[in-house]
Structure 1
Amino acid sequence: MEQLPELVRDIMAAMRREHPGLEFLTDENGRPRVALAIRVALGHFVRQLTEDSETPPELHEFFMEFGRNQARSGRNLNVLQSIFRLSVRLAWRSLADIGQSVGIPPPAMYELAESVLEYLDELVSHSVRGYAEVAVDQAGERIQRQRALIDLLLTEHRSDPSAAMAAQAAAVDWPLPGRVAAALLLRPARESVPPVLSGGVLIDAGGEQARLVVPDPDGPGAFERLARATGGWSGAVGPAVPLTQAAVSLHWAAAAVGMMKAGLLPNGRLLRCSDHAEALVLMPACELIDDLGRRRLAQLSDLSAVPAGRLAETLLAWLETQGSAPAVADRLGVHPQTVRNRMRQIRDLWGEELDDPERRFELELVLRVRRMRAELGEAKAD
């Protein structure tokens, strides 16, 4: 094929024009190796039209190496595919001109076009495979670096870790935020694919619980976006803290996840610890609060369950509102006179204790925990 050298020059010129930053490896004589590969590939294709021959293995290896170099250079797969589309277009245009000049009938030209595409698809597949090899290696390295950064962020430090954090963050191109929140996700199933997260959220999904570091968690819509992205996963986001105190946020996220596992907090979605602060603070101290409750609510022990429950409910409403009978009645959905009657009973049972701020605090603490447990039981029943 006499036109082959000219066609190779045209393809190389077009590649440089369309991709001016593209670098080509050269041989010992300084000639672009890709030009030789294109010439060999096109020459072999032309021979295949007249004789049965297999593609040389070295051609496969070259195109794989071409793909590897594109990945190492930081170009995405779209650039690689664009290069091949350009080469196919120019090669086919040249072959079509030749076919027309020698009078090849249209049906034969259609078959030729199919052969061109099949042949080049084979070569492209080798470049894509080479690209993928490097991309996987690079992704693995990035995951390791990102995991090291997460480890550093979520570890308690006795000295200032700012310099080490800056170095680790730079290794994964992660801009250091002023505040972060740590989160833990419970894997729904062993085969579950980790969620795809945006906004600079770091994730380590290597274990049963995925660890997350969320930058600027108080930003507008940040929690809502994270909740949507983690749909199908249960978990908790700790409070927002300065970057160097991310371990504190992790502590609360872990506490919330532990309570979710124990059935003490809702499961099946992403929770924000700050929305469940009361439960996180009070529930872990259940034994202490139960002991306190036995002493502070001993006055109800001689009553049956229903009247005792009504008095406890009324007492809590009064403690929370410090309001009048109509205000308490509105909260409980009863008549104000009913509240007055109950409050007389409560005053008879507790007497001057109701005037002691410390006793009122302890009563409210005990009754709030009881209410949380009752609400949780109703949620489980539903």
Structure 2
Amino acid sequence: MSVRTDPAPAAALRSASVWSTVSAADTERFISLASTEIPTLSLEVMQQIHAQFPQVVEIFDDHGVSGVLTRIRLALGPFVESVRAAGGPKIAGDGAVRFREAAASLDRCETLPGPALDFMRAVYRFGARVSWRRLTEIADGVGIPPAAMYELAEAGFDYIEALVGEATRDQLSNESLAAGERLRRQCRLVGLLLADQPADLEATAQYAANIGWRLPETVAVAVLNRNENMLLPPALGTGILLDWESEQPRLVVPGSAQAGRADALRQALPGWSGALGPTVPLAQAARSLHWAQTAVGLIAAGALPSRGVLDCAEHTTALLLLPPAELIDDLAAGCLAPLAACRPGQADRLADTLLAWLQTRGGAAEVAARIGVHPQTVRYRMRQLRELWGDALDDHDQRFALELVLRARKLQSPPSPGRPSHDLVTGRQVGVG
């Protein structure tokens, strides 16, 4: 014969706190005795923590009180008081928050080295074991059932995790604030270094020393392009200054120009595009910034590669010839005027041949090899060029101007479908289609 059991009372029995069977008088006596022991117990816990974990740094407040000792006292108070809670000890949430709020009143109470979550948890658990031995002795003297103390121990484990969680959140918050302050100070220093009228060197050196940055002899300045995916500052080496507050973030990279430095910077900036200016003496940092900004402008115009961080040292010719576009256009209008009467295709072919000849000053075979045509074609085109320019092709200044203009035209990005191109002679935009 089976007996039907009502599941509801059984569930209620399993969830009931053993502390509900302890008389109020015994509960209060336990709390009173344990609370009286907290100062002595806290001192014992602190001493054993230092013995077990010598890497814990002791920091004292303005009154000379140990930060470790204060934290232990603040942690033990809510733990002992929790046995009064209805339904049994439950202190993981509210108790941990109260502990954090109380600890926040300390001027300097960060006593654990670094953000090591596992280490922090180990210290708390060790302190809990030391405390637990004394609390168990008090409970035995009062007559608290072992099951009630086991329940308190379970609540203690939850409490430890809550303390670790609160401490971790505080630490992350503090680190975030510290990182923001470092960025603000770096921005200020970058502004001093890149100003058109540099600040007093001694004052700049003092400000740099205050944020742990030593003034180098030479620097290179980089300018980055923001995009919608780059919401956080890039992770850079400690020696690189970052101005994150500018519309286009600016970097000051110390040291001389070394092989591979641009590659290393690109690896540190995955997904970013921009330009690294030339290496210059520190006092001329604004000059490196100028060329980096010039290169970024040419990247935006499609005249230079847009992938990754471009090294200006690898694109010197383009940086010299492309920025003064209006001057080049004016020069082209005069130098290339003989091509104005030619058909567009014919003018382009003659210009390519002329540039190859000016670059090589070689014979038909060498020019032909450079532009990929037959030598006889080169001879035919050179006769045409002689008819167009005459003796001007033998003038040194005229040849220099022609090569300058033709090189600049060659550097300009080739027109893509739907985009305007440039007239070879005048430099003006010509609509497509």
TM range (shorter): 0.7 to 0.9
- Write the distance in 2 (CA, Å) between the matches of 1:284 and 1:205: 27
- Per the TM alignment, residue 16 of structure 1 is displaced from its structure 2 partner at its CA by 2.4
- Partner SS for 2:415: helix
Cα shift readout 1:317-374 (whole Å, capped 9, x = no counterpart): 111122222221111111222222222222232222222111111000111122122x
> Structure 2 counterpart of 1:14, which letter?
Q
**Contact 1:15 1:83 (C-alpha < 8 Å) held by counterparts:** no
> Are the structure 2 counterparts of residues 376 and 115 from structure 1 closer, same or farther at C-alpha, using a change threshold of 3 Å?
farther
- Write the distance in 2 (CA, Å) between the matches of 1:301 and 1:64: 79
- Write the distance in 1 (CA, Å) between the matches of 2:159 and 2:350: 85
Cα shift readout 1:36-82 (whole Å, capped 9, x = no counterpart): 5424533542443464476397643333346x6255x895323x863
- What do you get for the CA RMSD once the two structures are aligned? 3.6
- Write the distance in 1 (CA, Å) between the matches of 2:247 and 2:169: 32
Structure 1 equivalent of residue 254 of structure 2: 215
Q: 1:85 aligns with which of 113, 122, 131?
A: 122
> Are the structure 2 counterparts of residues 139 and 33 from structure 1 closer, same or farther at C-alpha, using a change threshold of 3 Å?
closer
- Write the distance in 2 (CA, Å) between the matches of 1:119 and 1:327: 84
- Partner SS for 1:212: strand
- Partner SS for 1:232: coil
Does 1:123 pair with 2:163? yes
- Write the distance in 1 (CA, Å) between the matches of 2:215 and 2:417: 40
- Partner SS for 1:168: helix
**Contact 2:236 2:268 (C-alpha < 8 Å) held by counterparts:** yes
> Structure 2 counterpart of 1:309, which letter?
D
- Write the distance in 2 (CA, Å) between the matches of 1:260 and 1:341: 38
> Structure 1 counterpart of 2:50, which letter?
R
Structure 2 equivalent of residue 141 of structure 1: 181
- Write the distance in 1 (CA, Å) between the matches of 2:299 and 2:402: 27
> Structure 2 counterpart of 1:298, which letter?
A
- Per the TM alignment, residue 90 of structure 1 is displaced from its structure 2 partner at its CA by 4.1
**Contact 1:181 1:215 (C-alpha < 8 Å) held by counterparts:** yes
Structure 1 equivalent of residue 312 of structure 2: 273
- Write the distance in 2 (CA, Å) between the matches of 1:273 and 1:234: 13
- Per the TM alignment, residue 207 of structure 1 is displaced from its structure 2 partner at its CA by 3.1
- List gaps (5 residues or longer) in structure 2: 1-32, 420-433
Note the 1:152-167 alignment, pairs <5 A.
152-157=192-197, 161-167=200-206
> Are the structure 2 counterparts of residues 96 and 288 from structure 1 closer, same or farther at C-alpha, using a change threshold of 3 Å?
same
> Structure 1 counterpart of 2:192, which letter?
L
Cα shift readout 1:264-300 (whole Å, capped 9, x = no counterpart): 3333432122222222222222222222222222222
Structure 1 equivalent of residue 28 of structure 2: none
Cα shift readout 1:127-150 (whole Å, capped 9, x = no counterpart): 344444544443343222211110
Does 1:22 pair with 2:61? no
- Write the distance in 1 (CA, Å) between the matches of 2:418 and 2:292: 22
> Are the structure 2 counterparts of residues 252 and 32 from structure 1 closer, same or farther at C-alpha, using a change threshold of 3 Å?
closer
Moved more, 339-348 or 310-319: 339-348
Number of matched residues? 373
> Structure 2 counterpart of 1:147, which letter?
C
- Write the distance in 2 (CA, Å) between the matches of 1:139 and 1:33: 24
**Contact 2:225 2:274 (C-alpha < 8 Å) held by counterparts:** yes
Structure 2 equivalent of residue 60 of structure 1: 100
- The alignment's TM-score, normalised by the length of structure 2, stands at 0.74
Does 1:300 pair with 2:339? yes
> Structure 2 counterpart of 1:364, which letter?
E
Structure of larger gyration radius? 2
> Are the structure 2 counterparts of residues 4 and 168 from structure 1 closer, same or farther at C-alpha, using a change threshold of 3 Å?
closer
**Contact 1:179 1:216 (C-alpha < 8 Å) held by counterparts:** yes
> Could you tell me the percent identity over the aligned residues?
40
Moved more, 193-202 or 90-99: 90-99
Which has the larger share of helix?
Answer: 1
- Write the distance in 1 (CA, Å) between the matches of 2:418 and 2:213: 41
- Write the distance in 2 (CA, Å) between the matches of 1:202 and 1:26: 34
Moved more, 299-308 or 173-182: 299-308
**Contact 1:65 1:127 (C-alpha < 8 Å) held by counterparts:** no
Note the 1:1-382 alignment, pairs <5 A.
8-17=42-51, 18-19=53-54, 22-25=57-60, 32=66, 34-35=68-69, 37-39=71-73, 41-42=75-76, 44-49=78-83, 51-52=85-86, 55=95, 59-65=99-105, 69-71=108-110, 75-78=113-116, 82-92=119-129, 95=132, 114-157=154-197, 161-189=200-228, 192-198=231-237, 200-216=239-255, 218-373=257-412, 375-378=413-416
- Write the distance in 1 (CA, Å) between the matches of 2:346 and 2:210: 65
> Structure 2 counterpart of 1:377, which letter?
P
> Structure 2 counterpart of 1:365, which letter?
L
**Contact 2:386 2:393 (C-alpha < 8 Å) held by counterparts:** yes
- Per the TM alignment, residue 104 of structure 1 is displaced from its structure 2 partner at its CA by 5.3
> Are the structure 2 counterparts of residues 20 and 310 from structure 1 closer, same or farther at C-alpha, using a change threshold of 3 Å?
closer
- Write the distance in 2 (CA, Å) between the matches of 1:366 and 1:169: 45
- Per the TM alignment, residue 236 of structure 1 is displaced from its structure 2 partner at its CA by 1.3
> Structure 1 counterpart of 2:262, which letter?
F
> Are the structure 2 counterparts of residues 309 and 51 from structure 1 closer, same or farther at C-alpha, using a change threshold of 3 Å?
closer
